[in-house]
């Protein structure tokens, strides 16, 4: 490594540069941009007064409509559907039934139509499977939702048919009969009977007895005081429960002092009779009758 020696202390640094050395000329750069003297920024153009007034008016309108819309929505959500104009359910004559609830079953007891209940037995208390009483109804004496005897049930039929039906019930394995009845303010009388047998074979046999051992396409034994019924053309099979069989009838005109509508439901070990009757020329309304039948179907199925 070559040793560098510093110049003597008394020699100036500039004297160390040879006199003959000339520095290259510094290249000229671009001329400095001309600097304009800045003044105050020009003011933005002002919108016409008419535009400002229109914007303010529309803003106020949006705010007002937004407030009204929010208040209306809050009011509607706090109202019942039947209180909202245009959304109220049209009154079609339905009765005001309470919500249905299935009764509790004994421990380890299956539902009547579950896969583990091949006998299709209703293990629940039969009285708890009766359709409830609608609002405004008056209970019929002796039909308070409890047990009734055979005589009370066969009294629904003409005198000429009661003896044969009573004998058949006495010979069959009938366990018990639960019944409920009520009258409505319009005069409609409703009766519901549930007959439970020891097996499906017995319930089916009695169901056939109602049809006088004929095919199920024939008409049943008429009720007391009614003429021979006809099939209810307004009833559809899809309206019933999935596991029940319902046969629905009405008494055609002329039906005398009162008209009857009734149906039989075969649900496993149980046979149900649902009756609506009403005096007067107006007859018995179809809508509440079908409503009662559907609800009873649901409880049995």
CA dist 259 → 122, 156, 273 (Å)? 32, 14, 16
State pLDDT tens for residues 46-100.
Answer: 555 555 555 556 665 555 455 545 544 444 444 554 444 444 445 789 999 999 9
CB 252 within 8 A of CB 262: no
Burial-class residue 247 by CB neighbours within 10 Å (0-12, 13-18, 19+). Answer: buried
What does the pLDDT read at residue 160?
93
The pLDDT-based confidence of 219 (bands split at 50, 70, 90) is confident
Given a cut of 60, whether residue 276 has pLDDT beyond it is: yes
The pLDDT-based confidence of 106 (bands split at 50, 70, 90) is confident
Mean pLDDT of the chain: 78
The pLDDT-based confidence of 29 (bands split at 50, 70, 90) is very low
What does the pLDDT read at residue 9?
40
CB 220 within 8 A of CB 264: yes
Q: Which of 22-36, 105-119, 130-144, 269-283 has the lowest mean pLDDT?
A: 22-36
Collapsing DSSP states into helix, strand and coil, what is residue 53? helix
Alpha carbon distance 34, 274 (integer Å): 107
Given a cut of 80, whether residue 279 has pLDDT beyond it is: yes
State pLDDT tens for residues 131-158.
Answer: 999 999 999 999 999 999 999 999 999 9
Structure tokens at 197: 């047998």
The pLDDT-based confidence of 301 (bands split at 50, 70, 90) is confident
Alpha helices in the chain (DSSP H): 49-77, 150-154, 159-171, 200-210, 286-300
């Amino acid at each position: 490594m070559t040793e560098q020696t510093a110049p003597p202390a008394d020699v100036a640094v500039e004297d160390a540069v040879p006199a003959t050395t000339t520095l290259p000329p510094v290249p000229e750069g671009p001329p400095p941009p001309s600097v304009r003297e800045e003044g105050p920024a020009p003011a933005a153009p002002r919108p016409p007064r008419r535009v400002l007034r229109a914007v303010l008016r529309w803003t106020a309108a949006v705010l007002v409509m937004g407030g009204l819309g929010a208040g209306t929505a809050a009011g509607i959500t706090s109202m019942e559907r039947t209180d909202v104009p245009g959304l109220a359910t049209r009154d079609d004559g339905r009765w005001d039934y309470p919500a249905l609830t299935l009764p509790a079953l004994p421990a380890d007891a299956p539902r009547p139509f579950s896969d583990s209940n091949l006998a299709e037995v209703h293990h629940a208390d039969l009285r708890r499977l009766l359709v409830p009483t609608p609002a405004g109804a008056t209970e019929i004496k002796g039909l308070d939702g409890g047990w009734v005897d055979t005589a009370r049930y066969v009294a629904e039929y003409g005198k000429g048919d009661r003896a044969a039906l009573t004998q058949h019930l006495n010979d069959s394995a009938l366990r018990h009969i639960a019944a409920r009845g009520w009258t409505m303010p319009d005069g409609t009388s409703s009766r519901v009977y549930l007959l439970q047998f020891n097996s499906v074979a017995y319930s089916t046999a009695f169901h056939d007895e109602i049809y006088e051992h004929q095919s199920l396409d024939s008409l049943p034994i008429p009720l007391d005081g009614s003429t021979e019924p006809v099939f209810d053309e307004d009833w559809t099979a899809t309206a019933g429960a999935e596991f029940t069989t319902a046969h629905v009838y009405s008494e055609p005109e002329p039906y005398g002092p009162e008209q009857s509508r009734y149906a039989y439901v075969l649900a496993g070990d149980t046979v149900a009779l649902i009756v609506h009757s009403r005096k007067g020329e107006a007859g018995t309304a179809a809508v509440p009758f079908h409503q009662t039948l559907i609800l009873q179907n649901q409880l049995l199925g």
